[in-house]
Amino acid sequence: MKRKKFLLEETQMPTAWYNMVADMPHRPQPYLDPKAHTPITEQTLSVMIAEELARQELSTERFIEIPEEVQAMYRIWRPVPLVRATGLERALDTPAHIYFKNEGVSPVGSHKPNSAVPQAYYNFKQGVKRLTTETGAGQWGSALAFAGRHFGLDVDVYMVRCSYDQKPYRRLMMNTWGAQCYASPTMRTASGRAARAENPAAMGSLGLAISEAVEAALASPETTRYCLGSVMNHVLLHQTITGEEAILQMEMADEMPDVVIGCVGGGSNFGGIAFPFLRKKFCEGAQLRVVAVEPESCPKLTRGTFGYDIGDVSGYTPLIPMYSLGHDFQPSAIHAGGLRYHGAGAIISQLLHDGLIEATAVPQTETMQAGVLFARTEGIIPAPESTHAIAVAIREALRAKAEGCARTILFNLSGHGTIDLYAYEQHLAGHLADYVPTDEELAVTAGQVLR
């Protein structure tokens, strides 16, 4: 009998996060002030985010201890299972061994609380009373609502209007955990009012919601800080709990992955599973490939420009060195809402630039087919974002079959898709199409990336 699940005891949960920056051959260029173009300091960052998070953002320490209070809350759902996808292997008739980390078992249904919990904790420790953030499809907003409640913080979430109207369930999760959720653009901020003045029916965008959330935080510096769900180094740092657990669990399985796969929005679940394995590669000589997967419709890693870009539309965030499509790039309305961001985090971008990781773009219909096959063989209905990682795991498994060789594949199942069934309805009805932007379309905003 093949063993199905590899479970760690609570007492085996890793107690430190891993900081990839410590072991990179070339560290990312510094963040820059968007106006002065001078490197950002911890002091300037801590006007926007909690002091400890600003410190972590610029840290080069290899390991950072996970505070007791954060570990205690992680234990609500962690350690999460490493599962061998035996049903999927059988369906593909592949000699490859396929494993996945199931981050969908968190109360929120995704990996996002791995960072929401420490972000809420450090803000609470500092005496902050209110957190502001943005959310697209609602995964990050619900994670911060869940975490903020635990530490007694008020949470204001600016949710992109089109999702707010079309996808009420994560908004209702936020409300259930006691957070306020506003449809962005709102009349509460100058950025929102300007967008509404221009177009009263504006449906919003993630970049605009970020501007609103940052502006709202900066308006009340005594009580309020902003939190971000991806892209920044400290967020990826917190997510490495996934990869640290996976290393212990792969050892239980007596295997090491030949390839590690994750989908990339801003890069947090990908970095979370990949970075600890990259440490094994860089420091211990492990032979493995790491593949970042993005939608063909939002191809920042495979077709973006490597340079400096801002994280929002109004320029409240620092200039970040990254692969970007330009901050005003508007991807087509794919269902993987979490992957519709214009850029990828600095560490991931630098690793890709240096040829140390790979990137692949996949079409939407292939990802949804992969999601349905996964649901029918493994039982779990994956989030549309996570189906991107599954699609590439399937490609790798079929390649192993064609080459007639064994291969061990590990991917991050970043979340379940039970609240995204609309995507499956559209797919099953044959309504989904693939969209590849032309070079001309990408050229419209590509110039916003400073080289």
Give 257 or 266: the residue with its C-beta nearer to ligand PLP: 266
Shortest Å distance, C-beta 140 to ligand PLP:
6
In 3D space, the residue among 147, 140, 183, 19 whose CA is nearest the CA of residue 72 turns out to be 147
| Residue 233 in the binding site for ligand PLP (CB under 6 A) | no
Give 217 or 390: the residue with its C-beta nearer to ligand PLP: 390
H/E run at residue 326:
none
Instruction: Give the one residue of 19, 110, 186, 408 binding ligand PLP; rule: CB under 6 A.
Output: 110
The token pair at 254 is 């007596």
The token pair at 227 is 């939190």
Instruction: Give the one residue of 230, 305, 349, 448 binding ligand PLP; rule: CB under 6 A.
Output: 230
CA distance 301 to 382: 23
Give 79 or 272: the residue with its C-beta nearer to ligand PLP: 272
CA distance 185 to 50: 25
Region 268-327 residues binding ligand PLP, contact defined as CB under 6 A: 268-270
Give 13 or 116: the residue with its C-beta nearer to ligand PLP: 116
Give 268 or 448: the residue with its C-beta nearer to ligand PLP: 268
How many other CB atoms are there within 10 angstroms of residue 349's CB atom?
Answer: 26
- Residue 55: C-alpha distances to residues 83, 261, 319, 426 (Å): 35, 29, 18, 44
Give 276 or 338: the residue with its C-beta nearer to ligand PLP: 338
- Residue 312: C-alpha distances to residues 37, 93, 191, 307 (Å): 16, 45, 11, 15
Region 323-352 residues binding ligand PLP, contact defined as CB under 6 A: 338-339
Instruction: Give the one residue of 114, 242, 414, 448 binding ligand PLP; rule: CB under 6 A.
Output: 414
Does residue 352 contact residue 359 with C-beta atoms inside 8 Å?
A: yes
Q: Which residue has the tokens 């490493």?
A: 82
Please identify, among the stretches 60-68, 119-127, 249-257, 262-270, the one whose residues bind ligand PLP according to the rule CB under 6 A. Answer: 262-270
Give 321 or 371: the residue with its C-beta nearer to ligand PLP: 371
CA distance 342 to 349: 12
Beta strands in 161-254 (DSSP E): 180-184, 224-226
Please identify, among the stretches 29-37, 81-89, 245-253, 261-269, the one whose residues bind ligand PLP according to the rule CB under 6 A. Answer: 261-269
Shortest Å distance, C-beta 401 to ligand PLP:
27
CA distance 382 to 370: 9
Instruction: Give the one residue of 85, 131, 264, 357 binding ligand PLP; rule: CB under 6 A.
Output: 264
| Residue 56 in the binding site for ligand PLP (CB under 6 A) | no
Does residue 170 contact residue 248 with C-beta atoms inside 8 Å?
A: no
| Residue 432 in the binding site for ligand PLP (CB under 6 A) | no
Q: What is the DSSP string of 379-419?
A: S--B-TTHHHHHHHHHHHHHHHHHHT---EEEEEE-BB-GG
Pairing relationship of beta strands 130-135 and 154-160 according to DSSP bridges: parallel
Instruction: Give the one residue of 148, 207, 266, 311 binding ligand PLP; rule: CB under 6 A.
Output: 266
Give 51 or 294: the residue with its C-beta nearer to ligand PLP: 294
Binding flags for ligand PLP, 365-404, as an x/- string (CB under 6 A): ------------------x-xx------------------
| Residue 79 in the binding site for ligand PLP (CB under 6 A) | no
Does residue 406 contact residue 96 with C-beta atoms inside 8 Å?
A: yes
Please identify, among the stretches 154-162, 267-275, 360-368, 398-406, the one whose residues bind ligand PLP according to the rule CB under 6 A. Answer: 267-275
Give 73 or 383: the residue with its C-beta nearer to ligand PLP: 383
Half-sphere exposure of 377 (CA within 13 A, CB side): 21
Give 181 or 195: the residue with its C-beta nearer to ligand PLP: 181
| Distance in angstroms between the alpha carbons of the first and the last residue of the chain | 55
Instruction: Give the one residue of 56, 102, 119, 139 binding ligand PLP; rule: CB under 6 A.
Output: 139
Q: Given the rule CB under 6 A, which residues bind ligand PLP?
A: 110, 112, 139, 230, 263-270, 338-339, 383, 385-386, 414-415
